Structure 1
Amino acid sequence: MLKSVWTDTEIWALAVAETIVWAGIYYIFAALISQWERDLEWSKSELAIGFTCCLVVSGLIAPVIGSLIDKGFGRKVLVGGAVFGGVLLFLMVFMNSLWQFYTLWTLLGVAAACCFYEPCFAYITHTRPANAKAAITLVTLVAGFAGTFAFPAANILTEWFGWRVAVGFFSAMILFVAVPLFYYSTRSAKKTKTLLTSNERRQQSLERKSALREAITGRYFWIVTISFGLIMINHNGLLTHFLPMMDERGISLELAVFAAAMIGPMQVIGRLTMVLTEQWLSALVTCCLAFSCLIIASICLIYSMDSPRLIFGFVVFQGIGIGVFSIMRPVIIAELFGVRGFGAISGVSASVGQMSMAIAPTLAAAIWLLGGYDMVLLFMLTFAVVATLMFSSVALLQRRRA
């Protein structure tokens, strides 16, 4: 499958750009939350609100961004979002108060909505419909190392120079590496863009709206979308609290950072395994197996108090599960609801996913206040189980229809 895009330099550039923006905008929060808590003397709950604001804004505008990509503005969206994100991270270097922290993270939500996976995948689906799955797989194989890059880099720079230098480093990486790569990787968009008459544009707009209406009023859309949202609560809740959770359990910072960094390589292993088995397993079955991995991961983390070695069981299964899921999400949406109006349909689904990611850090912090991280883990396991049951019901119904 990957042979069709292996020599496509634009996809490789897009993959590296995605790696950098995910490291600098998403993983940076989990990598530095403990440092911010110590240096700025803000609580986990206060810090989590900032990241929640980022993801809420990202979720709210995701359908709008999807529609813009449907209309052919993919290049401007991806490049502009990366520029905006890099500038905001640079301003974070000078942050001293909580209101500044909240403002910057809220605005970073706009950048995330423009340059994270969803807009990238929508752009790929529109510009390379024949090789979309292969291109998406290659992007996620490379970008799976975003956490592997972010956690060690942020912690080493923080230990040597302080967290402000670490944030400035990621800002520079986005502005001077990711932005040029996004610009290069989307150059073919201009070549493929055609001039349409007003009637053709109106017809395309009506078709997109019709496709979106059919999808969201269908029998499967909300079951699938909610199951995706529950998975994102599980993953984001565990990831953003992983370092504080390990600290509470007496695990050294070095070991905790190493474990968190290894989730990325496990994502890549999961995606490679998916590529090797795709001829035998359907997309729906593969997604069910990915969800099951997340259940096992939560169980490993629950019992890691008695056996710390199970932390690496969590890393393996969480990485494989979320790695495969991130590829299968756009594939499932295209398979169940079609590619017509894909950007808008994917945007609505992504908005629920982003909202779920948004509430996860704050929800986990609130549960922690009530019953500590043991209760947090039980809730996260429950979310994974419910999501698996919901999605499996759709897969079973689809199989019967086939």
Structure 2
Amino acid sequence: MSDARGLSDRTLVWGIAAMQVIGWGALYTPFPLLVAPMEAELGWSRVLLNAGFTAALLASGIAAVPAGRWLDRRGPRGLMSLGAAAAALLLVALALVRDPAAYIAIWVLIGLAQAACLWNSAMAVVVAEARDPTRTITAITFITGFTGTVFLPLADALIAAFGWRGALGALAALQAGAAVLTFAMLRQARVPPRGAAAPTGRPLRERIRERAFLGLALCFAAHAFIGTGLAAHLIPLLRERGWPEATVLLLAAAHGPAQVAARVLLYTLGRGVTMRAVGRFATGLVPLGMLCLALGPGSLVLTLGFVVLWAVADGLLAIVRAAGTAEILGREGYGTVTGALSAFAVLPRTVAPLVLALRWDGAGTYGPVPWLLVAVAAAVAGGFLVAARRPAG
């Protein structure tokens, strides 16, 4: 029976990677390109347009725990397939929107669909099914690292050719294909027995009091703050340093290749390293990278050092968040536990761009911003060191 057989690691790598590349590429990556044409046609403020996207982030974080609990109790078939299909329909609705209230509501529903079918849910499937979760997750992240490389130019070309509404329609068609792929692949996934209790061992309210859980929550929340904050502010921060535009864009673009290179190296090391060791190394790089950014406002060498250190750490932490959580906290109740970790990170992820903007506005320069990031980076490293002391769950 398919439930007993489950999915092979090869199927997981290619199937999950394809689902995630399309899902993130359709639901998340193109948004910055859509804002200007939507603003021009609809006449809405940029604040309103960004509020919809923020609402999706909040809804996704809030829904992460119930989505994880569903996956633990009932398996991924229904939830992920429904989420992927709903996402395609919601992109069509977004392409037709003309009312601000409907716009916000659609984004909230998109956030719920993201919680159902994107990263946390996908990693719960891998941890439950894979014979070698670490290498499988590493291979998946290697492929998904090219999401922006593929979908940013694709979305830009679609907007230029068909306008923002037509582009969303085309992305909806791609997402519909991902929904079909999701349903077809997960037909072979193992499913818990009907009526089975949630396999969490202890209630979630007890697990979130564990020192290891709190350490990981602090680490991942601080990492999310840095990631979204830099995504919004890195280019203007580098421009303020007076370098040519080509240099600024090259420094910003180097993040992706360095991420992928780190993941390739980890994959080649295979089973020779633990996620604890990888996590200690990666989280140690984060404060070093932020220090390079803070100490080198006029130094291209130090700024390049920041780019490399942060990109390597960021690339590895995507794997640590999935496989490291399983190694430290155990596989039981993985969906629920990782959903709770995502819920802890949703507020830092959402407010980071605003916090950095206020810090810039108060000083009239980006000078203090890297020092704020140094402090947050210390929380990344400290939180993981606390968590890594726990014996394997």
TM range (shorter): 0.7 to 0.9
Q: Distance in 2 between matches of 1:267 and 1:245?
A: 21
What secondary structure is seen at the aligned counterpart in 1 of 2:132? helix
1:385 is aligned, of 378, 382, 386, to 378
Q: 1:303 to 1:182 in 2, by over 3 A?
A: farther
2:147 alignment counterpart: 146
2:258 alignment counterpart: 266
2:16 alignment counterpart: 14
> Is residue 66–residue 347 contact of structure 1 (8 Å, CA) maintained in 2?
yes
Q: Distance in 1 between matches of 2:127 and 2:332?
A: 10
Give the stretch that moved more between structures: 88-97 or 220-229: 88-97
Q: Can you give the 5+ residue segments of structure 2 that lack an aligned partner in the other structure?
A: 1-6
**Cα deviation code 1:171-223 (max 9, x no counterpart):** 222123x212212221212xx33644x5xx2xx33x52516355223222112
Alpha-carbon deviation of 1:66?
0.5
> Is residue 23–residue 146 contact of structure 1 (8 Å, CA) maintained in 2?
yes
Q: Distance in 1 between matches of 2:245 and 2:163?
A: 16
Alpha-carbon deviation of 1:163?
3.8
The one-letter code of the counterpart of 1:172 is: A
TM-score normalised by length of structure 2: 0.83
Aligned 1:320-399 pairs, distance under 5 A:
320-371=312-363, 372-395=365-388, 397-398=389-390
Alpha-carbon deviation of 1:25?
1.8
Q: Distance in 2 between matches of 1:36 and 1:304?
A: 38
Root-mean-square deviation (CA, aligned residues, Å) is 3.4
Q: 1:367 to 1:79 in 2, by over 3 A?
A: farther
TM-score normalised by length of structure 1: 0.81
Give the stretch that moved more between structures: 354-363 or 258-267: 258-267
1:131 alignment counterpart: 132
Q: 1:377 to 1:155 in 2, by over 3 A?
A: farther
The one-letter code of the counterpart of 1:12 is: W
2:191 alignment counterpart: 193
Give the stretch that moved more between structures: 111-120 or 363-372: 363-372
Q: 1:214 to 1:154 in 2, by over 3 A?
A: same
2:109 is aligned, of 104, 107, 110, to 107
Alpha-carbon deviation of 1:116?
1.5
Alpha-carbon deviation of 1:322?
1.6
Matched, 1:292 2:294: no
The one-letter code of the counterpart of 2:216 is: V
Aligned 1:3-402 pairs, distance under 5 A:
8-32=10-34, 46-96=48-98, 98-128=100-130, 130-159=131-160, 161-176=162-177, 178-189=178-189, 192-193=190-191, 195-196=193-194, 201=196, 204-205=197-198, 207-208=199-200, 210=202, 212-242=204-234, 262-277=254-269, 279-299=271-291, 301=293, 306-307=298-299, 313-371=305-363, 372-395=365-388, 397-398=389-390
**Cα deviation code 1:31-76 (max 9, x no counterpart):** 5556667776766655443332211111111110011111123022
> Is residue 289–residue 309 contact of structure 2 (8 Å, CA) maintained in 1?
yes
Q: Distance in 1 between matches of 2:188 and 2:321?
A: 25
Q: How many residues of Structure 1 are paired with residues of Structure 2 in the alignment?
A: 385
Alpha-carbon deviation of 1:252?
8.1
Which is helix-richer, 1 or 2?
A: 1
What secondary structure is seen at the aligned counterpart in 2 of 1:208? coil
The one-letter code of the counterpart of 1:392 is: L
> Is residue 201–residue 332 contact of structure 2 (8 Å, CA) maintained in 1?
no
Q: 1:90 to 1:64 in 2, by over 3 A?
A: same
Q: 1:40 to 1:73 in 2, by over 3 A?
A: same
Q: 1:38 to 1:258 in 2, by over 3 A?
A: farther
2:3 alignment counterpart: none
Alpha-carbon deviation of 1:255?
7.2
> Is residue 89–residue 172 contact of structure 2 (8 Å, CA) maintained in 1?
yes
Q: Distance in 2 between matches of 1:300 and 1:226?
A: 23
> Is residue 15–residue 181 contact of structure 2 (8 Å, CA) maintained in 1?
yes
Q: Distance in 1 between matches of 2:229 and 2:29?
A: 13
Q: Distance in 2 between matches of 1:255 and 1:159?
A: 26
What secondary structure is seen at the aligned counterpart in 2 of 1:306? coil
